[in-house]
Structure 1
Amino acid sequence: MRFNTIRLLRGLSIGVMSTSACWTYAEVEEDSRFWFNLTMEGKLAKESRIGWYAELQPRLKEEGREHDQTIIRPAVNYWVSDRASIWLGYADVRTHTAQGTNHEQRWWQQFMYTFPPTSNGIVITSRTRLEQRNFDTGHDTGHRVRQLVRAIKKIEGTESLSWLLWDELFVSTRSTDWGAMSGFDQNRAFAGIAWQAAQNARLEIGYVNQYVRGHEFDRMNHVLSTSLFLRF
């Protein structure tokens, strides 16, 4: 089990770097970052198919010395079945730069589907998200597609711990006056552990490799990610 996991993590890292190399040949700058995520969700009523959702994400950059972003992301969802759901949400994103704070507002829609477990106990989830992005530094609306694939598998011999891997590709469909470039935007690859601390509480901790396409140079951020999920 340990050998297979190590081999899978190595393959994931190679895949991320290969994908990035295919899209861009720019100079790459690297940084270490910290992301924190508090997610809360629940149903409007006990038997309702309609749910609510809210995220709060503070992020740090420059090895954690500087505040990078704060994201507030509420949403509502409708469960078509036990495995499939459709979502409508909003995001308020504040990004801190040397020139000041950039304010981004997004509307987003997504479809999420969880596949039945495989024969060896791996559960795969697909999430397809569409975003409409507006900045206070421009007039254009940017459109972006995000495709995430997530795989989770219980660690043998434990009841509450699982291996967790996911990868998310971002593609912008148009260039904008505030800096978005059409085509590949970024890729995020995560490897870590999920701890089901209680029936309604889950903690996910791990490493995110974030590769971001830029105008003058690209970025590769090495992120320690900590996410707490609470159900009500």
Structure 2
Amino acid sequence: MKDQFHFDGSPTAVVQKPLALLGVGLCATTLAVMSPRTAAAQDQVWSSVTANGPVATDSRWLVWFDGHARFREGGETLDTTILRPGVGYRVNNRLDVWVGYANVTNRRPGLDVEEHRLWQQATYPIAQVAGGSLTGRTRLEQRFRDGDDDTGLRLRQFVRWSRPLGGVPLSAVVSNETFFALNDTDWGQRGGFDQNRAFVGLAWAVSPKVRIEGGYLNQQIDGGPAPDTSNDNLSLAAFASF
């Protein structure tokens, strides 16, 4: 089973055109709406593990888990933890669909901020570009905060390009994820562009089913009436398929 970021071949026309156009359109819109006024960059360290695969050999039913620990102040203080399990179904060898739950805790002075999310996503290939594979993930989230009744709806579009480097078990990786809030909530979500995460780095194939990625991730967060926030992050991630 290939993980969600490794697919071979080109998608069917039915899947390829709307999803590819969605990814390109969202990335283009991000460049248009991001404001040049940004607050001072924050240095952060992001770490994560992701595992997914079929529930049994040759099964179309899939399981997913990813966990995250993010540290602010140059990696000294725990900032955010995320636990995100899910289940999926392999529609064909070019499209997987998923549903799941995420628990997100933002560590803050005083009371932590806890968020619950239901999520649905599709993972798919897009095209072979410049000797590498371009893949995508489209995710819809329903966000809930403890003590608040409003539900925040958010769309996230992720695209990833990777290309093996000849003679070594390494690949060059470039990815981008754009977030759009689809409504306003009493607890602070504002409709429109929410944030963008752009990554560049290397992936090391530890084995056919395990890889480790490391590199630089820039996070631009819309500040609304305040200056936008720009975070410079060191990103370390491990991925396993089974």
Q: Normalising TM by the smaller chain, what interval?
A: 0.7 to 0.9
Distance in 2, matches of 1:59 and 1:53, equals: 20
Shift of 1:42: 2.1
In the other structure, the counterpart of 1:185 is 194
Distance in 1, matches of 2:198 and 2:147, equals: 29
Of residues 132, 141, 144, the one that matches 1:122 is 132
> Number of residue pairs matched?
214
In the other structure, the counterpart of 1:205 is 214
Q: Deviations over 1:62-112 (max 9, x none)?
A: 111211000000011111111211110110000012242001000000111
Distance in 1, matches of 2:234 and 2:71, equals: 10
In structure 2, relative to structure 1, the CA distance for the partners of 1:115 and 1:220 (3 Å cut) is same
Distance in 2, matches of 1:172 and 1:115, equals: 24
Do the aligned partners of 2:30 and 2:178 also contact (CA within 8 Å) in 1? no
Of residues 169, 172, 176, the one that matches 2:181 is 172
Of residues 219, 222, 225, the one that matches 2:229 is 219
Residue 62, structure 1, aligned to residue 73, structure 2: yes
Distance in 2, matches of 1:218 and 1:21, equals: 15
Shift of 1:25: 5.7
Distance in 2, matches of 1:176 and 1:50, equals: 35
In the other structure, the counterpart of 2:48 is 37
Of residues 106, 111, 118, the one that matches 2:117 is 106
Distance in 1, matches of 2:41 and 2:32, equals: 15
Do the aligned partners of 1:20 and 1:211 also contact (CA within 8 Å) in 2? no
Do the aligned partners of 1:154 and 1:163 also contact (CA within 8 Å) in 2? yes
Aligned residue for 2:223, secondary structure, equals: coil
In the other structure, the counterpart of 2:238 is 228
State, as a whole percentage, how many aligned pairs show the same letter: 38
The residue identity in structure 2 corresponding to 1:184 is F
Distance in 2, matches of 1:27 and 1:57, equals: 26
List alignment gaps of at least 5 residues for structure 1.
Answer: 1-15
List alignment gaps of at least 5 residues for structure 2.
Answer: 1-26
Aligned residue for 2:184, secondary structure, equals: coil
Distance in 1, matches of 2:147 and 2:227, equals: 21
Q: Deviations over 1:114-156 (max 9, x none)?
A: 13534x4210101111000001142200000001111000112
Larger mean Cα displacement after TM superposition, 48-57 or 21-30: 21-30
Of residues 142, 148, 151, the one that matches 1:138 is 148
Runs of 4+ off more than 6 Å: none
Distance in 2, matches of 1:84 and 1:166, equals: 19
TM-score by length of 2: 0.83
Distance in 2, matches of 1:73 and 1:80, equals: 22
The residue identity in structure 2 corresponding to 1:132 is Q
Residue 157, structure 1, aligned to residue 167, structure 2: yes
Do the aligned partners of 2:33 and 2:193 also contact (CA within 8 Å) in 1? no
The residue identity in structure 2 corresponding to 1:90 is Y
In the other structure, the counterpart of 2:102 is 91
Shift of 1:28: 1.6
Do the aligned partners of 2:116 and 2:144 also contact (CA within 8 Å) in 1? yes
Do the aligned partners of 2:30 and 2:193 also contact (CA within 8 Å) in 1? no
In the other structure, the counterpart of 2:89 is 78
Larger mean Cα displacement after TM superposition, 220-229 or 92-101: 92-101
Q: Deviations over 1:50-73 (max 9, x none)?
A: 110111101100111211000000
